[in-house]
Amino acid sequence: MKLTAQKVEELEKIAQEVRREIVSMIYRAGSGHPGGSLGMADIFTALYFQILNHNPKDPEYLERDRLVLSNGHICPVQYAALALAGYFPLEDLQDLRKIGSGLQGHPYRGFLPGIETTSGPLGSGLSQAAGMAWAGKHDQKKWQVVCLMSDAEQDEGNVWEAVMFATKYKLGNLTAVIDRNKIEVDGPTEKVMPLGSLKEKYQAFGWHVLEIDGHDFKEIANAFEESKDIKGKPVLIVANTVLGKGVSFMENKIEWHSHSINKEELDKALKELE
């Protein structure tokens, strides 16, 4: 379904609210990963407010689509999107990284509505998602599985085992998204461990690959629409994004991969995100 200009405007406003919640909760927590969280705000907004079949009033709804966040350190973006979608009260976002809170520094299944898997170690999410997709296919279910990954975790061998598994079992109900911001905690991905063309790599492994602007809602929606039409093979969406998107002093700055936010920085960020 093609997005109308009105729907795009609506999604853009929600994404800005997601970003405001991200910087606010990381400020209160005194630690976190603002860069990747801000960079994926548009993808998460599109997923929870346009693409996924889900029900905030019934998080365990059996026919729901499953979303697996592999690079769990960017969980503030998922927490913000879940809260705005109605899974839990917005005021709960104040508890990010507090002991005993459902909003841990990495997602923990069972602690918070809408969280499908526990994540932390990079490289594990695609295996979890592929297992879910295999189970869904085996049981002839219509629900889809979406797995969000970072580009840096493509260095993990476990990812490529899952890639081969998904191809072997023709998991057409699995769509992976790589956040291609080209930055990781130690520096630019192409200096730390050159990834080259992820599109060509995944195609060589038998996946259908799409490449998009990860901040363009029409491109995001069209890519997921196309992914549902692909039968008999998994789909990868390479989403080109800007780390720290929306906050000028964070954009494309390696130091904001993982960084606390002080009051002056918070005020400046919120002003830019009005």
pLDDT of residue 121: 87
Report DSSP state, residue 173: T
Residue-by-residue DSSP string for 218-257: HHHHHHHHHHHH--SS-EEEEEE--TTTT-TTTTT-GGGS
Coil, strand or helix at 52? coil
pLDDT tens column, 27-39: 999 999 999 999 9
Q: Distance between CA atoms of 69 and 116, rounded to whole angstroms?
A: 8
Check residue 252 and give left, alpha or beta (phi > 0: left; psi -120 to 50: alpha): left
- Tokens at residue 243, please? 């780390």
Decide if pLDDT at 120 tops 90.
no
Question: Is pLDDT above 90 for 40?
Answer: yes
Q: 69 pairs with which residues across the strands?
A: 148
Cβ within 8 Å of residue 183, ≥6 positions away: 35, 189, 243, 252, 254, 257
Position 2 pLDDT exceeds 90: no
Distance, in Å, from the CA atom of 170 to the CA atom of 167, rounded to the nearest integer, reads 5
Average pLDDT, the chain: 97
Residue 103 has pLDDT above 90, yes or no: yes
pLDDT at 119 over 80: yes
pLDDT tens profile 178-206: 999 999 999 999 999 999 999 999 999 99
Helix (H) or strand (E) holding 12: helix 5-29
Superfamily, domain 5-272 = Thiamin diphosphate (ThDP)-binding fold, Pyr/PP domains (3.40.50.970)
Closest CA to 87 of 56, 120, 51: 56
Span between the terminal Cα atoms of the chain, in Å: 29
SS (H, E, C) 101-115: CCCCCCCCCCCCCCC
> Token pair 């602690």 is at which residue?
111
Strand partners, 146: 67, 175
Question: Does this model's pTM top 0.85?
Answer: yes
Q: Which two tokens stand for residue 274?
A: 């009005």
What mean pLDDT do residues 221-238 have? Answer: 96
When pLDDT is averaged across residues 174-179 and rounded to a whole number, the result is 98
Confidence of residue 1 (pLDDT cuts 50, 70, 90): low
pLDDT tier at 21, thresholds 50, 70, 90 = very high
Comparing C-alpha atoms, which of 174, 114, 113, 112 is closest to residue 149? 174
The answer on pLDDT for 209 being more than 80 is: yes
